[in-house]
Amino acid sequence: MKKAGAYYLGQGRCRFTVWAPEKERLVLHLVQPEERKLDMQPAGDGFYTLEVKAVYPGTRYFFMPDGEQDYPDPASFHQPDGVHEASAVIDHTAYTWQDSNWRGLPFQELVLYELHVGTFTSGGTFAAIIPRLEELVETGINAIELMPVAQFPGTRNWGYDGVYPYAVQNSYGGPEGLKLLVDACHARGIAVFLDVVYNHLGPEGNYLSQFGPYFTDQYKSPWGDAINFDGVWSDGVRDYISENPLYWFEHFHLDGLRFDAIHAVIDNGAVHIWELIHQKVKKLEQCLGRRLYLTAESDYNSPRVVKSPEVGGYGFDAQWLDDFHHSLYVLLDKKGQVRYVDFGKMEQLAKAYNDGFVQSGEYVRFRKRRHGASSAGIAGDQFIAFNLNHDQAGNRAQGERLSVLVNTDRLKLAAAALMLSPYVPLLFMGEEYGDESPFFYFVSHSDKELIHAVREGRKKEFSNYKWEAEPPDPQASETFERSKLNWEKRREGKHRLLLDWHRTLIALRRSHPVLQEFSKSCVRAHVIGSQGLLLHRQTQDGLQHLVCLFNFSENLLPCSLPDWSKTWQVVLDSSANEWQVRKKNITESIPSKAKSNTALQLPPLSVLVYEGSMEF
Cis omega (within 30 of 0) on the bond before 471? no
- Residue 33: asked if its preceding bond is cis (omega within 30°), the reply is yes
Measured CA to CA, the distance from residue 75 to residue 71 in angstroms comes to: 11
d(CA 82, CA 200): 19
User: Regarding beta strands 606-613 and 544-551, do their DSSP bridges make them parallel or antiparallel, or are they unpaired?
Assistant: antiparallel
Q: State the amino acid at position 501 in one-letter form.
A: W
Query: 145 an active-site residue?
Result: no
For residue 362, indicate whether it is catalytic. no
Distance CA 586, CA 271 (A): 54
The answer to whether the CB of 445 falls within 8 A of the CB of 346 is no
Q: Which helix (H) or strand (E) holds 483?
A: none
> C-alpha angle 418/423/425, rounded to 5°?
55
DSSP 8-state secondary structure symbol assigned to residue 93: T
**Strand pairing of 256-259 and 293-296?**
parallel
Catalytic site residue from 114, 230, 260, 611: 260
208 secondary structure, DSSP code: G
Half-sphere exposure of 280 (CA within 13 A, CB side): 21
- Integer angstrom CA distances of residue 558 from 385, 420, 603: 28, 21, 9
Which residue is catalytic, options 195, 225, 297, 431?
297
As a whole number of angstroms, the distance between CA 302 and CA 317 comes to: 14
How long is the chain? 616
Nearest to 214 by CA among 31, 71, 28, 39: 71
SS3 441: coil
- State the Cα–Cα distance between residues 1 and 6, nearest whole angstrom: 15
- Kindly write down the DSSP assignment for every residue of 115-184, as one continuous string: E-HHHHSSS-SHHHHGGGHHHHHHHT--EEEEPP-EE-SSS---STT-SEEEEEPGGGTHHHHHHHHHHH
CA dihedral 44, 46, 51, 54 (to 10 degrees): 170
Give the residue from 236, 240, 215, 214 showing the smallest Cα distance to 46: 236
Is the distance from CB of 319 to CB of 298 less than 8 angstroms? yes
3-class secondary structure for 1-54? CCCCEEEEEECCEEEEEEECCCCCCEEEEEEECCCEEEECEEEECCEEEEEEEC
* Residue 381 contacts residue 423 (beta carbons within 8 Å): yes
- Single out the residue of 203, 205, 195, 317 nearest to residue 261, CA to CA: 195
- Whether the CB-CB separation of 214 and 226 falls below 8 Å is answered with no
Active site residues: 260, 297
